[in-house]
């Protein structure tokens, strides 16, 4: 084995493995640790309460630099610092004063691309971006993110659109950018073994109830579907907002058929996927959602949008169905094709499960990340 590396994973999210970023980083680095390396985490809980919230946009990058410098002064510098894109500018620029670590920036959807998509939504009248946000977000996040990826030793990105953006718009050499995948635990595949493809009465939306995840298209799509299919219900899993907020997006008569659930990963989410029949994600902007990979592991027939990481892992008609963004009518058509055809549900779901189990288990997902780390420090 190559020499053991000291690695700092610094992401301004909760250290609890409940969100997508914390779970991705946690499960991947479990395998890095198994390979003999040392991993330390710096997360949102490491900031004092008074430095959380919006001020964390500056406080967390400063904490990363301070922590790295302290490690170097103690004689135990980090070999690798894996830092989330929005917090990456300071350590990428000043790594020489922190013991000279190799800085790897992880992007879970390039910040500038996400911002451009949000402004596009505003121009279409689908989103209200206040003047305050138009000033503050570029001034506090976008410049840090760009400095971070441009000056990093390597960049991990979560879909091929981001890869092409980083190499073309930011002119980062291709050898310095690696497309990484999301993964899932075996428990999701176990749920898929006994899936009943003759059943199709529950749609699943799993994720935070946000506009960028396509809820403005999901709501009208389900409204039309529910009118045509009286048995159909929608399960919103781990929406992260009050149930009343979710239900207010639907006509009052349909609200009893919108069920909000909260389940902890991994067992709770896997069970929820086992109890529902079609995974639905009409998202506008993502990395590659963990819930999408988990749904594939679970053998769920999938309807999602042809953008970002979704179109990287779903091939229309082979292991799922893709629709254009902002197209609730196309979502309705795709779901109805599944509702009408048990054989199609089975074929797509089984193909998704087989591919996910082979390609997106955590051991396979961790391989290129570990190789980059070891290559940078060779």
CA dist., res. 122 & res. 211, Å (int) = 11
CB crowding 116-132: b at 16 or more within 10 Å, else e: ebbeebeeeeebeeeee
Question: Which helix (DSSP H) or strand (DSSP E) does residue 299 occupy?
Answer: none
CA dist., res. 172 & res. 186, Å (int) = 36
pLDDT tens track for 248-291:
999 999 999 999 999 999 999 999 999 999 999 999 999 999 99
Cα 347 to Cα 88, 195, 198, 300, 327, distances in angstroms: 43, 12, 12, 10, 24
Spatial neighbors of 44 by CB under 8 A, at least 6 apart, are 12, 13, 14, 15, 52, 56, 60
Angle between helix 290-297 and helix 342-359 axes, rounded to 10 deg? 110
Can you spell out the DSSP letters for 121-175?
Answer: HHHTTS----HHHHHHHIIIIIHHHHHHHHHSSEEEESSHHHHHHHHHTS---GG
Q: Is 50 exposed, middle or buried (0-12, 13-18, 19+ CB in 10 A)?
A: exposed
Spatial neighbors of 349 by CB under 8 A, at least 6 apart, are 192, 195, 197, 299, 300, 301, 302
Cα 184 to Cα 23, 119, 298, distances in angstroms: 9, 32, 10
Size (the chain), residues: 378
CA dist., res. 326 & res. 222, Å (int) = 14
Q: Which of 97, 90, 71 is nearest to 6 (CA)?
A: 71
Q: What residue spans of the chain are helical by DSSP H?
A: 20-34, 56-73, 89-93, 111-123, 131-137, 143-151, 160-168, 186-193, 215-228, 243-247, 267-274, 290-297, 310-313, 328-339, 342-359, 362-376
Strand, helix or coil for residue 77: coil
Token output for 205: 């939306």
How do the pLDDT tens digits run along the chain, 378 residues long? 579 999 999 999 999 999 899 999 999 999 999 999 999 999 999 999 999 988 999 999 999 999 999 999 999 999 999 999 999 999 999 999 999 999 999 999 999 999 999 999 999 999 999 999 999 999 999 999 999 999 999 999 999 999 999 999 999 999 999 999 999 999 999 999 999 999 999 999 999 999 999 999 999 999 999 999 999 999 999 999 999 999 999 999 999 999 999 999 999 999 999 999 999 999 999 999 999 999 999 999 999 999 999 999 999 999 999 999 999 999 999 999 999 999 999 999 999 999 999 999 999 999 999 999 999 999
pLDDT tens track for 131-141:
999 999 999 99
Cα 320 to Cα 258, 269, 281, 314, 316, distances in angstroms: 23, 20, 12, 6, 6
DSSP bridge partners of 144:
none
Cα 121 to Cα 76, 216, 284, distances in angstroms: 47, 11, 9
Greatest Cα-to-Cα distance within the chain, rounded to the nearest angstrom = 67
* Structural domains in the chain, sorted by start: 6-183+362-376 (3.40.50.2000), 186-359 (3.40.50.2000)
CA dist., res. 15 & res. 317, Å (int) = 38
The pLDDT value recorded for residue 254 is: 97
CA dist., res. 52 & res. 45, Å (int) = 9
């Amino acid at each position: 084995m190559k020499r053991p590396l000291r690695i700092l994973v610094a992401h301004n999210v909760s250290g609890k493995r409940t969100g997508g970023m914390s779970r991705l980083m946690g499960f991947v680095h479990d395998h890095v640790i198994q390979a003999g390396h040392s991993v330390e985490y710096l997360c949102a809980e490491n900031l004092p309460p008074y430095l959380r919230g919006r001020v964390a946009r500056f406080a967390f990058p400063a904490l990363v630099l301070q922590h790295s410098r302290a490690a170097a002064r103690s004689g135990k510098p980090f070999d690798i610092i894996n830092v989330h894109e929005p917090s990456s500018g300071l350590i990428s620029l000043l790594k020489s004063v922190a013991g000279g670590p190799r800085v790897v920036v992880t992007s879970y959807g390039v910040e500038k691309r996400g911002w451009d998509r949000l402004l596009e939504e505003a121009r279409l009248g689908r989103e209200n971006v206040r003047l305050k946000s138009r000033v503050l977000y570029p001034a506090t996040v976008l410049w840090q993110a760009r400095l971070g990826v441009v000056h990093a030793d390597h960049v991990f990105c979560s879909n091929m659109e981001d890869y092409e953006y980083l190499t073309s718009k930011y002119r980062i050499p291709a050898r310095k950018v690696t497309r990484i995948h999301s993964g899932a635990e075996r428990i999701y595949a176990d749920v898929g073994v006994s899936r009943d493809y003759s059943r199709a009465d529950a749609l699943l939306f799993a994720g935070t109830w946000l506009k960028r995840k396509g809820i403005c298209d999901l709501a009208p799509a389900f409204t039309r579907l529910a009118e045509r299919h009286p048995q159909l219900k929608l399960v919103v899993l781990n929406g992260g907002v009050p149930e009343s907020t979710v239900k207010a997006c639907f006509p009052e008569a349909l609200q009893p058929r919108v069920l909000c659930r909260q389940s902890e990963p991994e067992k709770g989410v896997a069970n929820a996927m086992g109890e529902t029949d079609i995974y639905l994600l009409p998202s506008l902007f993502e990395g590659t959602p963990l819930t999408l990979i988990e749904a594939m592991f679970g053998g769920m027939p999938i309807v999602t949008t042809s953008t970002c990481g979704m179109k990287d892992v779903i091939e229309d008609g082979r292991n799922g169905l893709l629709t254009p963004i902002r197209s609730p009518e196309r979502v309705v058509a795709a779901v109805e094709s599944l509702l009408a055809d048990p054989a199609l549900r089975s074929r797509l779901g089984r193909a998704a499960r087989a591919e996910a189990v082979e390609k997106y288990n955590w051991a396979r997902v961790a391989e290129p990340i570990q190789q980059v780390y070891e290559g940078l420090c060779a």
